[in-house]
Structure 1
Amino acid sequence: MAYGLGSARANKWAMALYAAIAVVWSGWKAWQYHSSDDVLAKFEPLPGIPAAELFGGQLQAGNSVELSVPKADLMRLMGLIDFMRYGSIVVGMVIILVGLLFVYRFCDRVIVGNPFTNSARTDVVMIGVCIALYPAITGFMNVLATNSVVGVLELSDTVETSTSTAGLYTATVVAVFLQFVYATITQGTKLARDTEGLV
C-alpha cells in the first residue's frame, strides 16, 4: 500500500516527511507574520449598532470587514497579539505532529496485522481528537488576538470579532465520521471472523 503503509520502514520515512512538511509550513506562516508590517483582523458590527465610519469606509449591519492594521498602531498590546499569533502557529504545529505520531502508530499496527486492538482504537480516537482540536484551539487564539486589536483601536462598542465556525464543525464531523468508520470496519471484521468460525 502507498502513503506510508507499504512497510514499517516506508511508514517511518513517510511520517517523517509529513512531519517535516508540517514544520516547514508552520515556519513559513510564522515568517510571513513576522515579516509583515500589518496585522489582519476581521470585524463585524455589533447587533443593533447603526452604520459607522471605519477607516474611510462604512460598516453596516450584516457586513464583515477585514482590516490590515499597521503593527505600529498596535504597540500598546502588540506583545499579546504577537504571543497569540505565534502561539496559534506553534500550537497548531504541535497538534499536527501529535496527530501524525498517532497515525504512525496506527499504520504500524496495520502493517503487522493488528489494526483492531485496544491500542489501535486509542490511536484512532486520538487522531480524531487532534483533527477537532486544531481549528478549535488555533481559532480561539486568533480570536483573542483580534479582540486585542479591537481594544487598541477602541472599537469595542462598535464591532465584534468576525468568526467562522465552519472549519470547527467540519473538523468535528470528520473526527466523528472517522470513529464511525473505524467502528463499522471493526464490527464487520468481527462478524466475518465469527461467520468463518461457523462454517
Structure 2
Amino acid sequence: MAYGLGSARANKWAMAFYAAAAVVWSGRRLWQYHSSEDVLARLELQSGTPPAELFGGRLEPGNSIELSVPKADLTRLMGIIDFLRYGSIVVGMVIILVGLLFVYRFCDRVIMGNPFTNAARTDVVMIGVCIAVYPAITGFMNLLGTNSVVGALELSDVATSSISTVGLYVAVVVAVFLQFVYATITQGTKLARDAEGLV
C-alpha cells in the first residue's frame, strides 16, 4: 500500500518524513514572522459603527481590510502580539505532530490486521479531534493577536479583528465525515463477517 502503509517499517519512515515536513514548514513560518518588520492584521468595523477613514482607505460595514503594520508602531503590546503569533505557529505544529502520531498508530494497526479494535477507534477519534482543533486554537490565538494590534493602534472603538470561520467549519465537517466513514466501514466489515458465518 502507498503513503506508508506497505509495511511497519515503511509506515514509520513515512510518518517520520511527514513529521519532519511539518516541523520544517512551521520553522519557516516562524522565521518569516521573526524576520518581517511588519505584522499583518485583518480588520473590520465594530458592529453599529459608521464608515470610517483608516490609513487612507474607507472601511465600510461588511467589508474588511488587511493592514501591514510596522512592528515599531506596536511597541506598547508587541510582547503580547509576538507571544500569540509565535504561539499560534508552535501550537499548530504540536497539534499536527500529535495528529500524525495517531495516524501512525492507526496505520500500524491496519498493517497488523487490527483496524477495528477499540484502540483503532480511539486513534480515528483523536485524528478527527486534531483536524477540528487545529483551526479552532490557531484561529483563536490569531484573533487575540489581531485584537492586540487593534488595541496598540488605539482603534478599539472603531475596528475589530476579522477572522474567517470557513476553515473551522470545513475542518469540523472533515472530522465528522472521517468518523462516519470509519463507522460505516466497521459496520460493513462486521456484516460481511456475519454473512460469511451464515454460509
Q: Name the residue aligned to 2:49.
A: 49
What stretches of structure 1 move > 3 A for 4+ residues in a row? none
Counterpart Cα distance in 1 of 2:74 and 2:178: 42
- Opposite residue 117 of structure 1, the aligned amino acid is T
- Opposite residue 176 of structure 2, the aligned amino acid is V
Cα offset, 1:182, TM superposition: 0.2
Structure 2 unaligned runs (5+)?
Answer: none
What pairs up with 1:144-163 in 2 under 5 angstroms? 144-163=144-163
Counterpart Cα distance in 2 of 1:23 and 1:52: 41
Q: Name the residue aligned to 1:130.
A: 130
* Sequence identity percentage: 82
Which TM-score applies when normalising by structure 1?
A: 0.99
What pairs up with 1:77-96 in 2 under 5 angstroms? 77-96=77-96
Q: Name the residue aligned to 2:110.
A: 110
Counterpart Cα distance in 2 of 1:105 and 1:47: 47
Superposition CA RMSD, Å: 0.5
Cα offset, 1:48, TM superposition: 2.1
SS at match of 1:76: coil
Counterpart Cα distance in 1 of 2:101 and 2:157: 45
Q: Name the residue aligned to 1:176.
A: 176
Structure 1 unaligned runs (5+)?
Answer: none
Q: Name the residue aligned to 1:16.
A: 16
SS at match of 1:156: coil
Cα offset, 1:52, TM superposition: 1.0
Counterpart Cα distance in 2 of 1:192 and 1:4: 27
Which TM-score applies when normalising by structure 2?
A: 0.99
Cα offset, 1:163, TM superposition: 1.1
SS at match of 2:139: helix
